[in-house]
């Protein structure tokens, strides 16, 4: 506080005449005075004594007991991350989509920082974390079977008196969708964690140390794990996934994703660029941007739901990503056909390191089925988009997703799907029978009235048609030169290497050597991460070729 000199004089006079101090003047020790004011006050005897008491009197620090020793500046032991994991070994069992691979790398980053170790030997694991998929019934059936196998393995360890007791955790979409059913099962699962709860895993694992079940399936409106740098499961891989958004707001009637992964939210651009730069420094040569519905980025805490204020157009992000390192190939999946902007096509045309391969999930070739699915486009609009894409990118490779046997699908409607596959001639397609999911709009509104045997028959017809198209497309590549990113040994033989071309088609070729430099006579073996020019000399559903030179 600041008092003028006149007020100080008045207080001093009252102080001199007051034998019983009815008020405390110690607070005046904090009075802010200029040097001139201090000199003026010190000119009188009484005033000087009073001022000395006011300015030089005891302070708050004089009444605090000082410790006889200094506390160490090191972290408090019980808050140290290393006290969580105790070097327990974690085995990751990953099912489902590319997003699940990326989520597992986020989980591994979190647990690694808390003193857990990773093992690739299931028999050696103290903890088994199963990253689950809930998109179809078949995927969930595999998880239930896996849990039975894990239960048997744990019982064998108990019989052998192997300690600590092996913990089993269910992570991801199935944990979110079937938490009650999982808990109803005989005690098999120790940990249940939804897609937005991975940061809580160290605490959940600590809870299980007392043989309690730990669960956290709360969905978040803003969690993107932007502050977590994923740790790759395979550190030697030359490809990587980078999540740029989470959740989905489209609410297609058949899809469980909005209910298992929550509302759509975008990751901060700076975090995305930082991760790409880190991967570039690690020698990664191809990065796939992931999102349930890649479009313009937005943040729920900014007014960008209807407008673009505070957000970023996907094309702008894609350009920033491509500029991080021109030697890194960029892919992205998956844009929604109703949200596909022209700017992205122009950018792909301009940037040679953005792959000319697009994933355009159609789901059905019939407009009535698409309306029941709430896809937001018609068959005609989809075909117009494909034609427009190929006008700008004549050599583009297009992939898609299809569902057969959706609620009420007739034979005539299914024929439209076959004719769409024939018309577009997809380089890659992911084909599945419809699987009803609880909580979805289709579950509330429609009947799953297409018999399973008809679904399977239609699936077989789709697969047969698609394979014939792919063989024909690949035969057209015979004699062509393809730039291939080498990923590793072929599954067929250690005498062959495998990689992918710009269209994301696998190319297999014999091991060999390439020049150390373009003008050098010395050679070295071809390694993962090399760009190799391969001449295609044979093809099936995969292209097979021989090495022509280095990229």
d(CA 513, CA 523) in angstroms, rounded, equals 6
Q: What is the pLDDT of residue 21?
A: 42
pLDDT over threshold 50, residue 242: yes
Q: How confident is the model at residue 32 (pLDDT cuts 50, 70, 90)?
A: low
Mean pLDDT of the chain, nearest integer: 85
Domain limits, the chain: 5-63, 79-216, 223-355, 481-550
Are 288 and 242 spatial neighbours (Cβ–Cβ below 8 Å)? yes
Distances (CA, A) of 402 to 119, 389, 534: 36, 20, 32
Q: What is the pLDDT of residues 88-116, one digit of tens each?
A: 999 999 999 999 999 999 999 999 999 99
- CB atoms under 10 Å from CB of 56, counted, come to 9
d(CA 286, CA 355) in angstroms, rounded, equals 10
CATH code, residues 79-216:
3.40.50.12160
Helix, strand, coil share of the chain (percent; to 5): 40, 20, 40
Its pTM stands at 0.81
Q: What is the pLDDT of residue 313?
A: 85
Q: What is the pLDDT of residues 41-76, one digit of tens each?
A: 555 555 566 666 666 666 666 666 665 555 454 444
Q: What is the pLDDT of residues 424-464, one digit of tens each?
A: 999 999 999 999 999 999 999 999 999 999 999 999 999 99
pLDDT over threshold 60, residue 296: no
Q: What is the pLDDT of residue 517?
A: 74
CATH class of the domain at 481-550: mainly beta
Q: What is the pLDDT of residue 120?
A: 95
Q: What is the pLDDT of residues 147-203, one digit of tens each?
A: 999 999 999 999 999 888 999 999 999 999 888 888 877 678 999 999 999 999 999
CATH code, residues 223-355:
3.30.750.210
Q: Quick one: average pLDDT of 501-512?
A: 92
Higher model confidence: residue 10 or residue 347? 347
Q: Quick one: average pLDDT of 280-302?
A: 76
d(CA 439, CA 447) in angstroms, rounded, equals 13
Residue among 210, 228, 239, 224 at smallest CA distance from 275: 228
Alpha carbon 262 to its chain centroid, in Å, reads 13
Q: How many percent of the chain have pLDDT more than 70? A: 80
Q: How confident is the model at residue 144 (pLDDT cuts 50, 70, 90)?
A: very high
Distances (CA, A) of 32 to 5, 45, 85, 222, 254: 11, 21, 55, 47, 72
Q: How many percent of the chain have pLDDT more than 90? A: 67
Q: What is the pLDDT of residue 231?
A: 96
């Amino acid at each position: 506080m600041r008092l003028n000199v006149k007020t100080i004089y008045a207080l001093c006079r009252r102080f001199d005449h007051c034998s019983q101090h009815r008020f405390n003047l110690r607070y005046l020790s904090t009075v802010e005075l200029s040097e001139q004011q201090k000199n003026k006050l010190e000119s009188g005897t009484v005033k000087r004594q009073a001022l000395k008491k006011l300015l030089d009197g005891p302070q708050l620090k004089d009444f605090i007991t000082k410790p006889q020793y200094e506390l160490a500046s090191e972290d408090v032991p019980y808050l140290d991350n290393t006290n969580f994991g105790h070097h327990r070994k974690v085995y990751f069992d990953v099912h489902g989509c590319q997003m699940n691979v990326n989520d597992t790398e986020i989980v591994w980053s979190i647990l690694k920082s808390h003193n857990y170790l990773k093992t690739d030997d299931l028999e050696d694991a103290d903890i088994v974390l199963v990253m689950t998929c809930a998109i179809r019934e078949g995927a969930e059936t595999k998880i239930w079977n896996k849990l039975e196998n894990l239960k048997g393995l744990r019982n064998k360890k108990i019989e052998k008196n192997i300690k600590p007791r092996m913990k089993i955790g269910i992570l991801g979409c199935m944990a979110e969708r079937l938490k009650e059913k999982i808990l109803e099962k005989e005690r098999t699962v120790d940990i249940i964690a939804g897609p937005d709860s991975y940061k809580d895993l160290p605490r959940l694992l600590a809870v299980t140390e007392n043989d309690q079940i730990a669960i956290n399936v709360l969905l978040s409106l803003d969690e993107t794990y932007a502050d977590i740098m994923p740790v790759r499961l395979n550190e030697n891989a030359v490809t990587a996934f980078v999540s740029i958004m989470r959740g989905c707001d489209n609410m297609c009637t058949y899809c469980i994703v909005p209910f298992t992964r929550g509302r759509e939210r975008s990751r901060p651009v700076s975090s995305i660029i930082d991760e790409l730069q880190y991967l570039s420094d690690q020698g990664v040569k191809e990065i796939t941007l992931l999102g349930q519905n890649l479009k313009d980025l937005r943040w729920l805490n900014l007014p960008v739901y209807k407008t673009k204020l505070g957000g970023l157009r996907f094309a702008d992000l894609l350009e920033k990503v491509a500029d991080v390192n021109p030697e890194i190939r960029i892919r992205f999946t998956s844009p929604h056909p109703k949200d596909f902007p022209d700017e992205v096509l122009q950018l792909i045309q301009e940037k040679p390191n953005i792959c000319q391969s697009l994933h355009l999930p159609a789901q059905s070739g019939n407009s009535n089925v698409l309306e029941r699915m709430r896809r937001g486009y018609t068959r005609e609009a989809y075909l117009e988009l494909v034609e427009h894409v190929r006008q700008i990118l004549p050599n583009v490779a297009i992939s898609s997703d299809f569902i057969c046997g959706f609620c009420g699908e007739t034979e005539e409607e299914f024929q439209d799907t076959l004719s769409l596959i024939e018309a577009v001639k997809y380089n890659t397609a992911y084909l599945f029978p419809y699987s009803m999911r609880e909580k979805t709009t289709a579950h509330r509104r429609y009947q799953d009235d297409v018999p399973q045997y008809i679904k399977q028959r239609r699936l077989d017809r789709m697969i047969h048609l698609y394979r014939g198209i792919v063989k024909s497309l690949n035969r057209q590549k015979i004699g062509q030169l393809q730039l291939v990113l080498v990923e590793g040994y072929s599954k067929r033989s250690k005498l062959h290497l495998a990689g992918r071309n710009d269209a994301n088609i696998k190319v297999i070729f014999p091991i060999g050597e390439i020049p150390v430099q373009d003008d050098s006579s010395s050679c070295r073996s071809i390694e993962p991460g090399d760009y190799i020019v391969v001449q295609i000399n044979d093809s099936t559903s995969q292209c097979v070729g021989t090495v022509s030179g280095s990229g």
